[in-house]
Structure 1
């Protein structure tokens, strides 16, 4: 399998920036981008979308509870339950996957987001060293893990 290019990875950076800026009028600060290891250190709320077709693997969006609560409040949502927080992180993951489909082509198949509370058991599935993009929005750290390979 072929490695993603820098432009492929920039798609995910740009998608995170666009999503948060559109939602909150404040763009996040990208704090680092690096090759992780097989176990990803994630936050409390995680959305995972799997890819098939010309690419295989997954992307993981991982955010702390406080960040998701602030995003929901900015969207005038009053239900700050765990279910709604999980829905919110799943929506972010799904949005990133939709942006990937626009760039990688309509043959890219994407799953419905899997939403998880807690970081236990989150591991890379395709790459021994997935791409990790960390960012900060307001005071909250978060990350996107891109664990994709081009077929």
Structure 2
């Protein structure tokens, strides 16, 4: 049976993408607090951006952030509209940016959906992998996480 799981180098692309996003946007690198394989539902935050992959890979990447972190990011970008809709747009845009950055390392055969934006911190369920990779981080004392639930197509 072929091993379709992501390798460490592919997962590192997402960690670096997260680092680069914050460094570029805020000039302050996030602290990556852990990266692990989840064994059950992952407890997320209130605002979630989900990008679906197809083509050479299948699966999802979810960016999950609390509202305060998103407000701080928007204010740093000189955005004064801190409505729930704008917070959802922001987390969706972050997920889209991370996916786009990952595509550079994973190849042009990777198709990326428009981000789905979800409100609520219900457990983030694995849909593709039995154990998705969870990257937890802190930025400006705020927690966030990125769940990489994808695999190579056979």
Deviates more, 1:102-111 or 1:51-60: 102-111
Shift of 1:106: 1.3
Q: What's 1:41 paired with? A: 43
Partner of 2:120: 118
Distance in 1, Cα, partners of 2:100 & 2:135:
18
SS in 1 for 2:118: strand
TM-score, with length taken from structure 1: 0.96
> How many angstroms apart in 2 are the aligned matches of 1:25 and 1:137?
11
State which of 92, 95, 102 in structure 1 corresponds to 2:94. Answer: 92
Match of 1:82 in 2: 84
Q: Is the 8 A contact 2:43 2:123 kept in 1?
A: no
Deviations 1:34-83 (A, max 9, x none): 00134121001000000001111000000010000000000000000000
Gaps of 5+ in 1: none
Show the counterpart of 2:59.
Answer: 57
- Corresponding residue SS for 1:106: coil
Number of corresponding residues:
151
Q: Is the 8 A contact 2:43 2:122 kept in 1?
A: no
In structure 1, distance between residues paired with 2:124 and 2:141: 24
> Which residue of structure 2 lines up, in the alignment, with residue 24 of structure 1?
26
* CA distance in structure 1 between the aligned counterparts of 2:119 and 2:14, rounded to whole angstroms: 22
Would you identify which runs of 4 or more consecutive aligned residues in structure 1 move more than 6 Å? none
Any unmatched runs of 5+ in structure 2?
A: none
- Cross-structure match for 1:138: 140
Query: SS at 1:97's partner residue?
Result: helix
Alpha-carbon RMSD across the aligned residues, in angstroms, is 1.0
Q: Is the 8 A contact 1:130 1:148 kept in 2?
A: yes
Distance in 1 (CA, whole Å) between partners of 2:76 and 2:87 is 13
> TM-score, normalised on structure 2?
0.95
Deviation at 1:119, TM superposition (A): 1.9
Kept in 1: contact 2:42–2:123 (CA 8 A): no
Distance in 2, matches of 1:101 and 1:15, equals: 10
